[in-house]
């Protein structure tokens, strides 16, 4: 979970895959989907958001609670050490809404801290499918009231997001390969540190200049082999490392290690996402796990601005 903890503690984005305007919460088709799920809840309903991250979905529920003048209790948990109150404190328009949410950091959905048959609605966006489904679905069934519902939006292996993540992972693999581009940059930066210790300027050192040329040739060779979409990812991922070489400083070796750790976390988050995607086989597994508890399942494709965004699962005792 370190890779998710590092992400949530560093970002002010409310969700994990969107930047810009979308990072400020769920809107449009997505907000509409969730608002529909909340429409028929009793006024004192107990609702839990599983895998909440910085609370984008829980906040949407809190907004609906306020506009509909409901008395819902909203709980939001995540296995990572989230600190949403900290990032939300910097966003005053959310502070009041966040105050009605009880956040549970470092709580896994495989072991919910809720009583049997206590919850009216369990919701999850891009998180339930990351869990151990045998355990988390059994927990969902345990804590939901008779008549309660589980609703989740899950990654599909057919979305543009999944395809794009696969491309990013292949570029990351090339960067990280043994004797690959990052290893070479690391060696160069170590040389820079050594040269400065000897009072020498890297740009006047033949060894540095030659190693730099070899690196640039390797980069060019790689760029010639990849697609335009991979080239975009390469540019994005490589740029912060390349910047360390353009202005060589003794302390850049340390900065490199930090950047490489962040890249490693990013790779793990994308690998999690790929593994979480709902394929026909995983969908069958979910159906089987819920149906053997006597629960019904229904699936829909969810489109946002006309594009496939994910699959929705709705389940209740039937």
Ligand X SMILES: C[S@@+](CC[C@H](N)C(=O)[O-])C[C@H]1O[C@@H](n2cnc3c(N)ncnc32)[C@H](O)[C@@H]1O
Interface residue list for ligand X (CB under 6 A): 1, 4, 15-16, 51-53, 56-57, 78-80, 108-110, 125-127, 130-131
Read off the tokens for 282. 């995983």
d(C-alpha 177, C-alpha 149), whole Å: 45
Query: What is the closest distance, in whole angstroms, from the C-beta atom of residue 309 to ligand X in the complex?
Result: 12
Query: What is the closest distance, in whole angstroms, from the C-beta atom of residue 31 to ligand X in the complex?
Result: 12
Query: What is the closest distance, in whole angstroms, from the C-beta atom of residue 279 to ligand X in the complex?
Result: 17
Judged by CB, which is closer to ligand X: 19, or 301?
19
d(C-alpha 292, C-alpha 279), whole Å: 20
Query: What is the closest distance, in whole angstroms, from the C-beta atom of residue 40 to ligand X in the complex?
Result: 23
Judged by CB, which is closer to ligand X: 57, or 98?
57
Query: What is the closest distance, in whole angstroms, from the C-beta atom of residue 125 to ligand X in the complex?
Result: 4
Judged by CB, which is closer to ligand X: 60, or 245?
60
Query: What is the closest distance, in whole angstroms, from the C-beta atom of residue 172 to ligand X in the complex?
Result: 17
Judged by CB, which is closer to ligand X: 79, or 121?
79
Judged by CB, which is closer to ligand X: 36, or 187?
36
Find tokens 């394929």 and name the residue.
279
Judged by CB, which is closer to ligand X: 78, or 120?
78
Judged by CB, which is closer to ligand X: 165, or 297?
165
Q: What is the 3-class SS of the chain, one letter each residue?
A: CHHHHHHHHHCCCCCCCCCHHHHHCCCHHHHHHHHHHHCCCCCCCEEEEECCCCCHHHHHHHHHHHHCCCCCEEEEECCCCCCHHHHHHCCHHHHHHHCCEEEECCCCCCCCCCCCCCEEEEEEECCHHHCCHHHHHHHHHHHEEEEEEEEEEECECCCHHHHHHHHHHHHHHHHHCCCCHHHHHHHHHHHHHHHHHCCCCHHHCHHHHHHHHHHHHHHHHHHHHCCHHHHHHHHHHHHHHHHHHHCCCCCHHHHHHHHHHHHHHHHHHHHHHHHHCECHHHHHHHHHHHHCCCEEEEEEEEEECCEEEEEEEEEEEC
Find tokens 């993540």 and name the residue.
165
Judged by CB, which is closer to ligand X: 126, or 208?
126
Query: What is the closest distance, in whole angstroms, from the C-beta atom of residue 76 to ligand X in the complex?
Result: 9
DSSP β-ladder status, 101-104 and 119-125: unpaired
Query: What is the closest distance, in whole angstroms, from the C-beta atom of residue 259 to ligand X in the complex?
Result: 22
Calculate the alpha carbon distances from 39 to 34, 67, 302 in Å: 9, 12, 18
Judged by CB, which is closer to ligand X: 253, or 274?
274
Query: What is the closest distance, in whole angstroms, from the C-beta atom of residue 216 to ligand X in the complex?
Result: 36
């Amino acid at each position: 979970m370190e890779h998710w903890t590092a992400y949530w503690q560093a970002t002010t984005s409310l969700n994990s895959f969107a930047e810009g305007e979308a990072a400020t919460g769920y809107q449009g088709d997505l907000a509409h989907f969730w608002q529909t799920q909340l429409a028929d809840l009793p006024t004192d309903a107990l609702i839990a958001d599983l895998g909440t991250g910085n609370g984008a979905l829980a906040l949407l529920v809190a907004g609906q609670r306020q506009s509909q003048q409901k008395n819902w209790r909203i709980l939001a948990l995540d296995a990572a050490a989230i600190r949403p109150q900290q990032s939300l404190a910097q966003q005053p328009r959310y502070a009041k809404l966040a105050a009605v949410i009880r956040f549970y950091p470092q709580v896994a959905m495989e072991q919910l801290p809720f009583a049997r048959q206590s919850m009216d609605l369990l919701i999850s966006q891009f998180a339930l499918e990351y869990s151990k489904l045998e355990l988390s679905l059994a927990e969902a069934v345990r804590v939901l009231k008779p008549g309660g519902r589980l609703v989740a939006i899950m990654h599909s292996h057919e979305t543009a997001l999944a395809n794009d993540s696969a491309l990013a992972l292949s570029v990351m693999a090339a960067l990280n390969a043994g004797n690959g581009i990052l290893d070479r940059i690391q060696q160069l930066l170590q040389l820079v540190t050594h040269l400065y210790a000897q009072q020498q300027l890297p740009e006047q050192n033949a060894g540095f200049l030659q190693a730099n040329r070899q690196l640039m040739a390797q980069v060019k060779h790689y760029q010639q082999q990849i697609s335009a979409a991979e080239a975009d990812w390469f540019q994005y991922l490589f740029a912060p490392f390349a910047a360390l070489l353009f202005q060589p400083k003794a302390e850049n070796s340390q900065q490199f290690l930090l950047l490489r750790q962040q890249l490693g976390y990013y790779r793990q988050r994308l690998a999690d996402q790929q593994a979480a995607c709902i394929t026909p086989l995983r969908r069958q597994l979910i159906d089987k796990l819920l149906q053997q508890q006597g629960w019904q399942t229904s699936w829909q494709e969810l489109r946002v601005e006309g594009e496939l965004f994910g699959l929705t699962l709705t389940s209740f005792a039937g």
